[in-house]
Copies of this chain bind each other. A is one copy, B any other.
Amino acid sequence: MSAGGFFRLDRPLSLAEAAEIGGARLAAPVAEEGVVIIGVAALDRAHAGDLSFYDRPRYAAGLRLCRATACLLRARDLPALPPGVAALIASDPHAAMARIMAALFPEALRPQSLFASSGVSPGAVVHPSARLEPGVIVDPGAVIGPRAEIGAGSVIGPQAVIGPDVRIGRGCSIGAGASLLCALIGDRVIIHPGARLGQDGFGFVLSRQGHVKSPQIGRVIVQDDVEIGANTTIDRGATRDTIIGEGTKIDNLVQIGHNVVIGRGCVIVAQSGLAGSCEIGDFVALGGQSAIGGHLTIGEGARIAAKSGVTRDAPSMARLSGVPARPVRRHLRGELLLDRLARRDGEPPC
């Protein structure tokens, strides 16, 4: 496996097993007995024993050179596969790959102890009034405050800080150096290193005589199966709660202001910013470096393009881009129009 070394193979999979797990089918019976998958790799890095996948024309050159044992791809791409590579036909090769990888490398589905710890490491500091269910792992350097509660099977990484009264559910992973204050965390939540939850929201009464700090006494509620990226910041509510809905996935370096309410199953790409008190419906997708203004409502299923700035409410299923954000097609028509006007003779279009 070219890219590896950090994750241990759980067990080899035969091609038939891999196909079944991935919801794929073998394009042809495999002649050789005992052909097994023992790793995964990108098309251009794979060799014997590896499984690879192909799902976009950009990587067609890699496909033609592929030396993997097997490759997941769509039926229409089969002719380009080199002989000697077993074809696993799937309607969504990437999804099939994810499922098979989960079987090969189950440890990679959830961050593990970084210190091969079991139980509370000697170097961790756990307040005597904190309550840890059986099977909680606490890595060296972690600090767990008074009355905090942590559910069975959760792993608290090195240098993570769990504040007073914080509750963490079962099967969670809290990354190295993350800090959780004033927070209630559901089950199976993954919080990556350096994420900051529950610090004061940015609330001030502005005045030339000095800005007056507005106390922030709400909480951060993180529902089940949420994932929160590295160095992302989520402020606690002012007089209500900041809420991250079930199954929502948040990338790195995202800013979520106080009182924000995010629905279920949202996808929020890196470096986005959600200003205070905005409400995001279920299954909304926010592109990288996008921004949602304060007190706005984004309807269910809306998609906001990367780098957009939303300045008014968006209806369900809206497709917006630009600053200020407008319907994607119209925004792009406008940019093309402007570019045509600015183009000089002989210049190619943008």
Contact A127 B116, CB 8 Å, known A3-B240, A267-B206: yes
Contact A105 B194, CB 8 Å, known A253-B233, A347-B330: no
Is A87 in the interface zone, CB < 8 Å from B? Answer: no
Q: Is the CB of A203 within 8 A of B98?
A: yes
Is A17 in the interface zone, CB < 8 Å from B? Answer: no
Give chain B nearest CB distance to A144 CB in angstroms: 9
8 A Cβ contacts from A203-240 to B: 203-206, 208, 210-219, 225, 227, 229-231, 233, 235-237, 239-240
A344: chain B residues within 8 A (beta carbon): 330
Is A176 in the interface zone, CB < 8 Å from B? Answer: yes
Q: Is the CB of A331 within 8 A of B342?
A: yes
Is A153 in the interface zone, CB < 8 Å from B? Answer: no
Give chain B nearest CB distance to A184 CB in angstroms: 9
Give chain B nearest CB distance to A44 CB in angstroms: 8
Bound CA–CA A307/B4 (angstroms):
35
Is A306 in the interface zone, CB < 8 Å from B? Answer: yes
Is A42 in the interface zone, CB < 8 Å from B? Answer: yes
List the B residue with the shortest CB-CB distance to A283. Answer: B208
Is A179 in the interface zone, CB < 8 Å from B? Answer: yes
Is A338 in the interface zone, CB < 8 Å from B? Answer: yes
Query: Quick check: which of A27-35, A76-84, A270-278 contacts chain B, the rest being far away?
Result: A270-278
- From B212, B217, B306, B347, contact of A3 by CB (8 A): B217
Is A61 in the interface zone, CB < 8 Å from B? Answer: no
Contact A7 B213, CB 8 Å, known A140-B125, A267-B204, A271-B271: no
Is A88 in the interface zone, CB < 8 Å from B? Answer: no
A230: chain B residues within 8 A (beta carbon): 196, 199, 233, 235
Interface string of A324-344 (1 = CB under 8 A from B): 111100111111011101111
Q: Tell me how many residues of A have a C-beta within 8 Å of chain B.
A: 134
Bound CA–CA A7/B206 (angstroms):
24
Is A149 in the interface zone, CB < 8 Å from B? Answer: no
Q: Is the CB of B252 within 8 A of A271?
A: no
A295: chain B residues within 8 A (beta carbon): 56, 58
- From B53, B217, B265, contact of A210 by CB (8 A): B265
Give chain B nearest CB distance to A271 CB in angstroms: 5
Q: Is the CB of A350 within 8 A of B327?
A: yes
Q: Is the CB of A123 within 8 A of B111?
A: no
- From B104, B252, B265, B325, contact of A211 by CB (8 A): B265
A202: chain B residues within 8 A (beta carbon): 229, 249, 251-252, 269-270
Give chain B nearest CB distance to A342 CB in angstroms: 4
- From B177, B330, B347, contact of A339 by CB (8 A): B330
A56: chain B residues within 8 A (beta carbon): 295
Q: Is the CB of B350 within 8 A of A342?
A: no
Q: Is the CB of A98 within 8 A of B214?
A: yes
Give chain B nearest CB distance to A230 CB in angstroms: 4
Bound CA–CA A229/B213 (angstroms):
13
Could you list some 24 contacts between A and B, CB below 8 A? A2-B240, A3-B218, A4-B219, A40-B217, A98-B205, A99-B212, A114-B145, A116-B145, A139-B143, A158-B179, A159-B177, A192-B196, A193-B199, A194-B194, A194-B231, A204-B249, A230-B235, A253-B253, A269-B275, A289-B289, A307-B309, A324-B332, A330-B344, A333-B342
